[in-house]
Amino acid sequence: MASGSNSLMWFRKGLRIHDNPALEYSAKNSNYLYPVFVIDPHYMEPDPTAFSPGSSRAGLNRIRFLLESLVDLNSSLRKLGSRLLVLKGEPSEVVIRCLKEWDIKKLCFEYDTEPYYQALDAKLKNHASVAGIEVFSPVSHTLFNPADIIQKNGGKPPLSYQSFLKLAGQPSWAASPLSTTLSWLPPVGEVGNCEISDVPTIKELGYEDFGEDNSTLFKGGESEALRRLGESINDKEWVANFEKPKGDPSAFIKPVTTVLSPYLKVVQKSVKRHTSPPVSLLGQLLWRDFFYTVAFGTPNFDRMKENRICKQIPWNDDEELLVAWRDARTGFPWIDAIMVQLQKWGWMHHLARHSVACFLTRGDLFVHWEKGRDVFERLLIDSDWAINNGNWMWLSCSSFFYQYNRIYSPISFGKKYDPNGNYIRHFIPALKNMPKEYIYEPWTAPLSIQSKAKCIIGKDYPKPVVSHDYASKECKRKLAEAYELNKKLNGRVSEEDLRCLRRKLEKDQNPESSNLKRKKQMLIG
């Protein structure tokens, strides 16, 4: 093969062999192909100071999910005559060292819009251009190229889903044929002085083994994703009638996450009667692209300050309330059950996410959305930078959605789907025997009932941290004032302005319901 040369396929997010243009390209006309994944120890090393088992950035579920995905990727590559080379270190340094060591002429990786990867990729592209290495970095993580959409809109990202749809039009794959399935990959060449390891196990990374109840829930990897997808897609009725908003957040259903694009095409053709966006399956992917586009076009998308699209709101910094929420100790069984599911499974229904996000921020506790975002990012196995931040701004009425008087009730919202409280009983064993009349508000149960259920509120299960009626009214009042200030100052609200507003809000607080009284009320209530 005289024309052939060495290629490096750098895997980051798209840990798959199907529908992977970077991988296909890297295999073309190559003598040797080096499929690489770099483990950044910073991301994987146990952090004993973190609030849950895991590293400083990721919970154990996320790490486990990633490792399973890597094991699966490795086994898929082996079936094609290749294998996954796992290296450790700072990713740009490791990859640059590999490029030299293996005399790479072609570097391939999936294009990524996240700021972290934008910076990383710029470094590598710069190195490659100096070294005369070809870089192939196709857009394959999203249906559209966010940069195209932003350009079409005159340089700014669309801020509503509808305007995004108008700009986006049809995804390019609607007209193109399915990509071919790989049947063979070039061999891996000599690895020289680069230190290659196998995919580490959880134990090798220094973590305790999982309890058996966690180990079978959501297996990571493309094979499992395709299996799940296949199951769903073959159920044509399910696909045709799929409407996300109507899903029951208390049902123990499992998510369809990624790798949908090659299959959706088949779906669209074979299912005649299907719902149309925004509620169809395709609609879900377009939502994903919407958030990617806004995130890409918005500097400081992941914080409130200096974020053009984010309302400046005087959130509080109440560590006690945050921790109660995070550790499932709010005293609201619906909220706490969801947070337990998040801790244990790393996944919960999107409406359940809405409930707890609203509760933490604009609905009840008025804690900064960035705090909740951090908890989700750490614990969710499907967490995604653009979507997570976008949804937190949405739910906290900081951007995209502004009807702050529509508040999810931590009591009645769950009740309408699950009047018996089975979801709560499943995740909060302490409340297992609470009669259904009281299970959403156990603090209202007479003491005799609490005794009979072997669950004394304040001892076996916490009292509510706030009164929802009072707290939600306070939140509405604060948001009204904050919105007024944002309007008055045209969004340019300084830290001093926010401090000033905080003082005003404190002063105007209904004296009958001051902090102290509120706590007393709760003891009685």
Partner DNA sequence: TGTCCGTTGCACGT
Partner DNA sequence: ACGTGCAACGGACA
| 279 near DNA (CB under 7 A) | yes
**Residue 355 beta carbon to DNA: minimum distance, rounded to whole angstroms:** 8
Two tokens, residue 451: 């005794």
Which residues share a beta bridge with 135?
A: 107
| 464 near DNA (CB under 7 A) | no
Closest listed residue to residue 169, CA positions, set 286, 291, 293: 286
Question: Which residues neighbour 349 within 8 Å (Cβ) at sequence distance 6 or greater?
Answer: 247, 248, 249, 250, 251, 253
**Residue 350 beta carbon to DNA: minimum distance, rounded to whole angstroms:** 6
Nearer to DNA, 98 or 285 (CB): 285
Q: Which amino acid is at 469?
A: D
284 is an annotated ligand-binding site residue:
yes
User: What gap in Å lies between CA 5 and CA 137, rounded to an integer?
Assistant: 18
508 is an annotated ligand-binding site residue:
no
Q: Contacting DNA (CB under 7 A), which of 136, 413, 423, 470? A: 413
Q: How many residues bind DNA (CB under 7 A)?
A: 36
C-alpha torsion 335→338→339→341, nearest 10 = 160
| 287 near DNA (CB under 7 A) | yes
Q: Write out 280-296 in H/E/C secondary structure.
A: CHHHHHHHHHHHHHHHH
**Residue 344 beta carbon to DNA: minimum distance, rounded to whole angstroms:** 23
Strands (E), 67-225: 85-88, 104-108, 134-136
78 is an annotated ligand-binding site residue:
no
**Phi, psi of 79, deg, nearest 5:** -65, -20
**Residue 353 beta carbon to DNA: minimum distance, rounded to whole angstroms:** 9
Q: Which stretch binds DNA (CB under 7 A): 89-97, 137-145, 411-419, 497-505?
A: 411-419
**Residue 411 beta carbon to DNA: minimum distance, rounded to whole angstroms:** 7
| 284 near DNA (CB under 7 A) | yes
Closest listed residue to residue 265, CA positions, set 165, 179, 181: 179
Two tokens, residue 360: 């933490």
User: What gap in Å lies between CA 525 and CA 519, rounded to an integer?
Assistant: 10
501 is an annotated ligand-binding site residue:
no
Nearer to DNA, 82 or 355 (CB): 355
- CB atoms under 10 Å from CB of 118, counted, come to 13
3-state class (DSSP) for residue 450? helix
**Residue 359 beta carbon to DNA: minimum distance, rounded to whole angstroms:** 10
| 354 near DNA (CB under 7 A) | yes
Q: Contacting DNA (CB under 7 A), which of 163, 172, 197, 433? A: 163
| 394 near DNA (CB under 7 A) | yes
Specify whether the CB–CB gap between 136 and 25 falls below 8 A: yes
**Phi, psi of 106, deg, nearest 5:** -140, 120
**Residue 77 beta carbon to DNA: minimum distance, rounded to whole angstroms:** 34
Q: Contacting DNA (CB under 7 A), which of 73, 351, 360, 485? A: 351
For 324, counting Cβ atoms within 10 Å of its Cβ (0-12 exposed, 13-18 middle, 19+ buried), the class is: buried
- CB atoms under 10 Å from CB of 48, counted, come to 6
Nearer to DNA, 416 or 519 (CB): 416
Does 158 sit behind a cis peptide bond, omega within 30 degrees of 0 on the bond before it?
A: no
Nearer to DNA, 210 or 238 (CB): 238
Q: Contacting DNA (CB under 7 A), which of 43, 51, 161, 173? A: 161
| 376 near DNA (CB under 7 A) | no
- CB atoms under 10 Å from CB of 50, counted, come to 15
Q: What is the DSSP string of 349-366?
A: -HHHHHHHHHIIIIITT-
Q: Which stretch binds DNA (CB under 7 A): 47-55, 200-208, 370-378, 398-406?
A: 398-406
**Residue 243 beta carbon to DNA: minimum distance, rounded to whole angstroms:** 8
Q: Contacting DNA (CB under 7 A), which of 350, 473, 502, 504? A: 350
Nearer to DNA, 162 or 444 (CB): 162
Return the residues of window 244-273 that contact DNA according to CB under 7 A: 244-245
Q: Contacting DNA (CB under 7 A), which of 170, 176, 193, 403? A: 403
* Positions in the binding site for DNA (CB under 7 A): 158-163, 166, 244-245, 278-279, 283-284, 287, 350-351, 354, 391, 394, 401-409, 411-413, 416, 480, 483, 486-487
Residue ranges at the known binding site for FAD: 257-261, 284-291, 382-384
Residue ranges at the known binding site: 257-261, 284-291, 382-384
